[in-house]
Amino acid sequence: MKYFVKGDVLASIRNRYLMPVRAFADKVKEEPDTIKEWERCGAELSTSKMDLISSTISCHWSVLLRDDPLPIVERPKSKRVANGHRHTEPETVTLVAYREAHRLLDNIYLSDLAKINKTVKDIIKMPKDTDPEIIASHFRTVVGFDTAKRRSLSNHRAVYTYLVGELEKIGIFVSEQEFNTDDIKGFLISKDDTYLIAISSLDKFPASRLFTLLHETGHILIGGHSSACDFRDMNGDLSKADTEERFCDSFAAAVLMPKTEFENDKHAIAMKSKLDNDTLNKLATSYRTSYLAVVRRLYTLDMISYTNYTKKTKEFFDDILPKIIAVMRKPKKEGFVLPRSYYVNQEIRKAGKSFTDFVINKYGTGNIGSGEAKRLLGVDTRYLVEIEKMVGAGR
């Protein structure tokens, strides 16, 4: 399968990495005249060719699908590549999701839905080196996510649902797309002051989806540009992530585990003397996050040593995670059929709740026909009536 890459985007990527046309052509196994033609007119590139280009300039393949050229800087920034992914060909399903997200973003942009609000714009205008703890504090105020609210939400999934709703109120839209979490777990795309965060619907861990949502929000709050971003663990070596990625991880952790509250939590304090798995799990449950996120937070706040951090991280990946996955992979009972409402909800989450409401209301009042509603939402005709009923019923 091939995907169109804009000429000005390709030229901006080559120029940003200070690579002459001939040197670039040699590395991607093309003639210089071919590269010049691509940069003039754009090109349909295969996934293998995209992978070769991205590995040549050490960036994530998603930058090739940008709508806007990369700004020229003295040194490359935000490579957004985790170890083990630099030479991995992007999966077709991920590229399809990326294009689908762009289609949805274009439709939202052309609608009269509210764009990013002034309060969030004020946060974006803050100095780039602002402490993520401060940014997180502002964000929690904007979305009403204080300690009382967190405790009122029963689990990770409830927090995720709440934050999605609050983000869409302030003009940040969320779409669940089907792409392999071994490639990426989520990405951010934007158009002027309209933002869309795509979360992998195949990520079966609610805590992971929640952290991904907040990580991508962090990119928005520091004026991030449209590119997919890798969320895989850095195997304990934070130096392998660039400055922006570290900021977004720190921001997400600070939203879920406010510094002052966390440092004074009796269970967190107990970790200084003994790292007990039961207590770690209690902290993860209390702060609606993951075991691993708690361990990272303890380390970044200097509550545990680097040795203990790496030890617990290794234990998580070697012992704990495989057991969780084994339980999740148990075969389902034969004859079990998911209700139709499950698939309808999948369609709503794919288009995003706010945009779905907007389109269905237009459809219900006769401003647009069923064909246009189906096109805007990207749904199968058979689900349109059910979606209308769910929205109309006060979903």
| SS3 label, residue 116 | coil
CA atoms within 13 A on the CB side of 227: 25
pLDDT of residue 42: 92
Residues with Cβ < 8 Å from 293, sequence gap 6 or more? 207, 211, 252, 253, 256, 257, 284
Residues with Cβ < 8 Å from 379, sequence gap 6 or more? 347, 350, 351, 387
> Do residues 148 and 222 share a domain?
yes
Band (338; pLDDT cuts 50, 70, 90)? low
Q: Give me the percent of the chain exceeding a pLDDT of 90.
A: 39
Spatial separation of the C-alpha atoms in residues 247 and 255, rounded to whole Å: 12
Spatial separation of the C-alpha atoms in residues 343 and 371, rounded to whole Å: 20
- Please, which residues bridge with residue 195 across strands? 172, 190
User: In this model, does residue 27 exceed pLDDT 50?
Assistant: yes
CA atoms within 13 A on the CB side of 106: 10
Average pLDDT (121-133) is 89
Q: Is residue 21 part of a domain?
A: yes
Lowest mean pLDDT among 135-144, 155-164, 344-353: 344-353
Q: Is residue 86 part of a domain?
A: no
Q: What is the dihedral of CA 373, 377, 379, 384, to 10 degrees?
A: -40
pLDDT digits (tens, 9 = 90+) for 65-76: 877 787 654 433
Backbone conformation region of residue 203, classed left if phi is above 0, alpha if psi is from -120 to 50, else beta = beta
Band (392; pLDDT cuts 50, 70, 90)? low
Residues with Cβ < 8 Å from 132, sequence gap 6 or more? 218, 247, 250, 251, 254
Of the two residues 77 and 228, the one the predictor is more confident about is: 228
What amino acid is encoded at 219 in this protein? H
pLDDT digits (tens, 9 = 90+) for 291-310: 999 999 999 999 999 999 99
pLDDT digits (tens, 9 = 90+) for 192-232: 888 999 999 889 899 999 999 999 999 899 876 545 443 33
pLDDT digits (tens, 9 = 90+) for 106-119: 899 988 887 888 88
Band (328; pLDDT cuts 50, 70, 90)? low
Measured between alpha carbons, how far apart are the two ends of the chain, in Å? 38
Q: Is residue 70 part of a domain?
A: no
> Do residues 235 and 113 share a domain?
yes
Average pLDDT (68-89) is 47
Q: Is residue 192 part of a domain?
A: yes
Q: Is residue 47 part of a domain?
A: yes
Q: Report the mean per-residue pLDDT for the chain.
A: 82
Residues spanned by the domain of 201: 101-256
Residues with Cβ < 8 Å from 310, sequence gap 6 or more? 236
Average pLDDT (156-177) is 94
Whether residue 86 contacts residue 55, with contact meaning beta carbons closer than 8 Å, is answered with: yes
Band (89; pLDDT cuts 50, 70, 90)? low
pLDDT of residue 15: 84
Average pLDDT (275-288) is 93
> Do residues 185 and 285 share a domain?
no
Of the two residues 321 and 138, the one the predictor is more confident about is: 138
Q: Which residue, 294, 328, 362, sits at the end of a domain? A: 328
pLDDT of residue 79: 37
> Do residues 247 and 116 share a domain?
yes
> Do residues 111 and 240 share a domain?
yes
Of the two residues 282 and 15, the one the predictor is more confident about is: 282
Spatial separation of the C-alpha atoms in residues 123 and 380, rounded to whole Å: 39
Question: What pTM does this model have?
Answer: 0.76
Q: Which residue, 256, 278, 310, sits at the end of a domain? A: 256
Band (91; pLDDT cuts 50, 70, 90)? low
Q: Which residue, 197, 230, 256, sits at the end of a domain? A: 256
Q: Is residue 75 part of a domain?
A: no
Whether residue 174 contacts residue 124, with contact meaning beta carbons closer than 8 Å, is answered with: no
Q: Is residue 318 part of a domain?
A: yes
User: In this model, does residue 236 exceed pLDDT 70?
Assistant: no
What amino acid is encoded at 1 in this protein? M
| SS3 label, residue 168 | helix
> Do residues 281 and 219 share a domain?
no
Task: Check which CATH number belongs to the domain holding 26 and give it.
Answer: 1.10.260.40
> Do residues 324 and 379 share a domain?
no
Average pLDDT (337-346) is 67
> Do residues 354 and 324 share a domain?
no
Domain total for the chain?
4
> Do residues 241 and 270 share a domain?
no
Of the two residues 54 and 263, the one the predictor is more confident about is: 263
User: In this model, does residue 172 exceed pLDDT 70?
Assistant: yes
> Do residues 125 and 228 share a domain?
yes
> Do residues 280 and 360 share a domain?
no
Band (242; pLDDT cuts 50, 70, 90)? low
Spatial separation of the C-alpha atoms in residues 153 and 85, rounded to whole Å: 36
Spatial separation of the C-alpha atoms in residues 247 and 215, rounded to whole Å: 9
- Token readout for 361 is 């209301």
> Do residues 42 and 126 share a domain?
no
Q: Is residue 80 part of a domain?
A: no
